[in-house]
Structure 1
Amino acid sequence: MRTQLNNEIVYEYLNRICGDRIFEKSPRNVRLLKFLVEQSINGVDVNESLIGFELFEKNYNPEKNDSKVRVYMFNLRKKLDEYYEEAGKEDKLIFQLSKGQYNLQFKIRDTLVFKENNTPLPESPKLKQRIFKNAYLYYILGIGTMLTLVLHFSKAIKNEHYCWNDFFNNKTNLCVMADHTIVWHKYGSRLIPTIEQNINSEADYISYLQEHPNDSIKLADYTLFSKMAPFSIKTLTEWFLQNKSNFSLRLESRFEIDEIRDNNLLYIGQFKTMNTSDAIFLKNSTMFKVNSNLNGFIVDKENKEVEYNPAFKSGVQNKDYAMVSFMQLENRRKALFFVSNNDIGTMAVVNNFTDKEWLKGFYKNLPDYSSYFNALFEVSGVRRTEISCELVELEIIE
């Protein structure tokens, strides 16, 4: 007699897994698992390209990014194994991903998850409980939303924080710090930690090994960030606390693009080590682009390119350029980038944009407080105590 999987119970187990601590901070793995479950239920044969376009959308190129898919499949298998060793060790329905396979299979521990001849099974008590809890939650959220709207429209709030307003009104903010991926090189019998210019993530590492199969490098289990990170994070933390808000932290090497679906985004640090963030930074600009070779920026002015690159005097760098980019993301969340390949450049613009009086003066250059922009600053006195930070180019995004 033919048996058919009860989809309600499949989704019950899926929600249980996605809500577990192992998955709750990994939105892309959750999205991948949900996608694979849906395809399995619908009988779709999954391949690498299908997953790639689902996960990375416009940023996926099957000729260049295949390794990224394999990395996420590998990580998903590890997380599922970890889940079934801990919270899911008593689960009656197992989501199984065999090594080297992309199709998810359901492994049954109890025939209660089946129905025969389409005869409906009694509703799962846990499913009923979940429906009741969700209904109650939606009720509470509805009341909370109404109160929030009343408070919002009953007060004429002055937008004195300009580009920070959404960050302070919304508690789901993510701050991404630039970091350097470390690999171990074998020299004789010794392992030496080094930075490879073309390896800024686990996916880059796998791609490198595919191109250099005889190389003996190993990916370290730690990364490196420069001094701008602790100083800028301290400044931003104090600024957010003053305004009764907060943010979560993420290293660029661990940042997943799906995380911007539910968060406003802050980025601090270099552009030369950007990986995931590179898909967002300056994508709204028709005026600016990065000059990777010289660690500077190129400005297109009246069909003529002007370069702004670091300057040196007597072998010591005394001038740098920093970019501040404020943009709206596709989901109406906001992104604010503080980018310079020199620590002092990043720290200087972070310090200025967390100063109310300085912000008031800067916004005199903009049509109104809600304008999106890309602003290039010249930072001089890199080796001195006093640092100057002057606006040299401004692009207003319509």
Structure 2
Amino acid sequence: MKNTHDIKAIETAFEKIITNKVFKRSSLQERILRYLINEALSGKDVKEHSIGIELFQDKYTTNQNNSRIRSYVFYLRKKLDEYYKGQGRNETIIFNIEKGQYNLTFNKNSHLINTTKNKNVNSLPKKTVLYSLIATTALIAILFLATKFAKPSYIWTPIFNGKTICIVADNYMVANQFKDQENMFSSIKNVNNEADLSLFIKENPNLNLKAANFTMSSKMGPFGIHYLNQWFRAFDENFDIQLESETQFSDYNKANIIYIGQAKNMQASQPFFLRDSKAFELLLDGFLYKQEKKAKRYVASYDKLTSLEYAMVSYQKLDNGKFNIFFISNHDIGVMGIIKMFTSKNKLKEFTNQLPSSNSQFNALFKVTGLKRTEIECELVELEILE
């Protein structure tokens, strides 16, 4: 479909998309989609930097590649695919963004074209067609109801019932400019924002440092998002994503929060993690568990083949009615292991069966072991029930 087609039909299609469940919690994807439609109707060639400058202005710089734009368009493409495979299956206009591209096109729905052609083929008796249609409809209804009313466990039920944001921990990066060399990028311990960097520069005036134009996250971020996305889609649910470096304290008042990452990278999220705990404290590379007058240290260890790490799942309800679930470890397999466990119906059921009630809030410490960081096993070692 060329861009000379009915603008009213395109606007109608846009309104249907943004009011659909797939997009209703994704204001950022809605803004990007609106921008891409306008540019397509104007016949403009869209580039990564044009999206960054138009939509993010001073938060985007062109002197470095900005991976956020590619990520945002990637998730927009995924949401469009999900919409057209579901309730948008019969839309006459398909909004399409080719992989590796930023230009949006308006295509005809090939599904409708094939359906129209099939209507002219009368290869089966009418009664056979009718019975097949009834049987297929009944099967679809049964499968839909089975999925719709399947319980995801009490832990996930309230998180599915409202807006949810998944916050991914990221490292604040700095650039060090040497003579006759490119910028050297690195992270500095305890430097998590501009204020920290400013103080560090004052204490180390001989270093030619500046803030980098990007942050970094380890592989626990994308893998964790992948496991969560599969889990949410199984229950026809969605969540938004943002980085810890972009998170505000007020975000915890607006939505349920899932946190993925290292405790040491927390900024706005730090006051909420272990806030009601009387048994656990964070260590540099692990956790301290105190019971009566005894204390146990749980610290990670690893060699070339195997890894032993400790990871925390903290589940709590805030005073404002929002729920938080933290998946915390300073190493990849720790976070990846506990997220895989809490997005598995069988393993999650085994865990919840150990809790005193069906609405317990808790801090649970797991020993996570892995062979070459691939074969991951989780074992509960300490459990604190929150009142």
Query: Secondary structure in 2 aligned to 1:300?
Result: strand
Residue 333 of structure 2 contacts residue 370 of structure 2 at CA under 8 Å; is this kept in 1?
no
TM-score normalised to structure 1 length: 0.57
CA positional deviation for 1:228: 1.0
Alpha-carbon distance, 1:261 to partner:
0.8
Once the two structures are superposed, residues 21-69 of structure 1 have per-residue CA deviations (whole angstroms, 9 ceiling, x without a partner) of: xxx98xxxxxxxxxxxxxxxxxxxxxxxxxxxxxxxxxxxxxxxxxxxx
Contact 2:309–2:369 under 8 Å retained in 1: yes
Q: Work out whether 1:221 is the aligned partner of 2:213.
A: yes
Q: Is the 1:159–1:369 contact (alpha carbons within 8 Å) kept by the matching residues of 2?
A: no
Distance 1:210 1:369, change over 3 A: farther
Q: Using the alignment, how far apart are the partners of 2:290 and 2:300 within structure 1?
A: 18
2:198 to 190, 197, 206: 206
Aligned to 2:302: 312
Residue 192 of structure 1 corresponds to which residue in structure 2? 184
CA RMSD of aligned residues (A): 2.2
CA contact (8 A) 1:373 1:396 kept: yes
Paired position in structure 2 for 1:141: none
Partner residue, 2:248? 256
CA shift, 1:311, in A, is 1.9
Question: What is the aligned partner in structure 2 of residue 230 from structure 1?
Answer: 222
**Separation in 1, partners of 2:206, 2:238:** 46
Letter in 2 for 1:242: A
Q: Percent same amino acid among aligned pairs?
A: 39
Cα distance, 1:289 vs structure 2 = 0.8
Aligned pairs (5 A) from 1:5-16: none
Deviates more, 1:196-205 or 1:360-369: 196-205
Distance in 1, matches of 2:373 and 2:226, equals 21
**Residue in 1 that maps onto 2:172:** 181
User: Cα 1:350–1:385, aligned 2, differ >3 Å: closer, same or farther?
Assistant: same
Letter in 2 for 1:247: F
Aligned partner of 1:297 in structure 2 is: 287
Give 1:239 deviation, angstroms: 1.0
Q: Separation in 2 of the partners of 1:341 and 1:335?
A: 19
Helix, strand or coil: the match of 1:239?
helix
Q: Which residue of the partner structure matches residue 274 of structure 1? A: 266
1:270/1:333 CA distance change after superposition, 3 Å:
same
Equivalent-residue separation in structure 2 for 1:381 and 1:308 (angstroms): 16
Match of 2:386 in 1: 397
**Gap change, CA 1:308 and 1:200, over 3 Å in 2:** same
Partner of 1:240: 232
Please list every run of at least 4 consecutive aligned residues from structure 1 whose deviation after the TM superposition is greater than 3 angstroms: 157-160, 209-215
CA distance in 1, matches of 2:373, 2:312: 21
Residue-by-residue CA offset, 1:97-154 (whole Å, 9 max, x unaligned)? xxxxxxxxxxxxxxxxxxxxxxxxxxxxxxxxxxxxxxxxxxxxxxxxxxxxxxxxxx
1:212 shift after superposition: 4.1
CA-CA distance at 1:384 after TM superposition = 5.4
Structure 1: stretches of 5+ with no match in the other structure: 1-23, 26-77, 80-156
Distance in 1, Cα, partners of 2:269 & 2:349:
28
Q: Say how many residue pairs are matched.
A: 243
In the superposition, the TM-score normalised over structure 2's length comes to: 0.59
Task: Provide closer, same or farther for how the CA distance between residues 262 and 299 of structure 1 changes in structure 2, counting only shifts above 3 A.
Answer: same
1:387 aligned to 361, 371, 376, which one? 376
Name the aligned partner's letter for residue 173 of structure 2.
I
Once the two structures are TM-superposed, the CA of residue 214 in structure 1 deviates from its matched residue by: 5.2
Q: Secondary structure at the match of 2:190?
A: coil
Correspondence for 1:288: 280
Q: Which of 339, 363, 370 is the matching residue for 1:350?
A: 339
In 2, the alpha carbon distance for the partners of 1:331 and 1:389 equals 32
Distance 1:384 1:344, change over 3 A: closer
Q: Is the 8 A contact 2:306 2:369 kept in 1?
A: no
Amino acid at match of 1:184: A
Does the 8 Å contact 2:333/2:373 carry over to 1?
A: no
Q: Aligned to 2:366, which of 377, 380, 390?
A: 377
- Give ranges in structure 2 of 5+ residues lacking alignment: 1-26, 29-57, 60-148
The letter for the 2-side match of 1:227 is: K
Answering whether residue 350 of structure 2 is matched by residue 361 of structure 1, we say yes
Shift in alpha-carbon separation, 1:207–1:382, aligned structure 2, 3 A: farther
Paired amino acid for 1:186: Q
CA displacement at 1:250 relative to structure 2: 1.0
Paired residues of 1:264 and 1:333 also in contact (CA < 8 A)? yes
SS in 2 for 1:161: coil
